[in-house]
């Protein structure tokens, strides 16, 4: 590999790294209110369900507590169906 080829490879990798760092910074800013352990748990659930083919692109908390409460009520409903 010549020096010019090495320089082009280094330049390409530097551009890719800069783009990835910008994406990570943007994602951190968007999901700053989500704790890291929650992100880890969601990522593990997605990987287990999709066989490691899925990607978690964005996570945010539900905008209303009513949705959360209703979901809990549905899951914890002990009546005979």
- Spell out the domain ranges in the chain: 3-75
- What are the backbone dihedrals phi and psi of residue 63, each rounded to the nearest 5 degrees, phi first? -70, -20
Look at 52 and 12; give whichever has higher pLDDT.
12
pLDDT tens for 22-46 read 988 887 777 667 777 887 888 788 7
pTM: 0.40
- What number of other Cβ atoms are within 10 A of residue 34's Cβ? 14
Count of alpha carbons within 13 Å of 58, Cβ hemisphere only?
A: 7
């Amino acid at each position: 590999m010549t020096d010019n080829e090495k320089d082009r490879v280094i330049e390409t990798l530097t551009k890719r790294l800069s783009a990835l760092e910008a994406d990570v910074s943007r994602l951190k800013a968007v999901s700053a209110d989500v704790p890291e352990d929650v992100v880890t748990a969601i990522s593990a659930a997605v990987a287990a369900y999709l066989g490691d083919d899925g990607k978690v692109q964005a996570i945010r908390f539900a905008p209303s507590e009513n949705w959360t409460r209703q979901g809990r009520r549905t899951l914890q409903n002990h009546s005979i169906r």
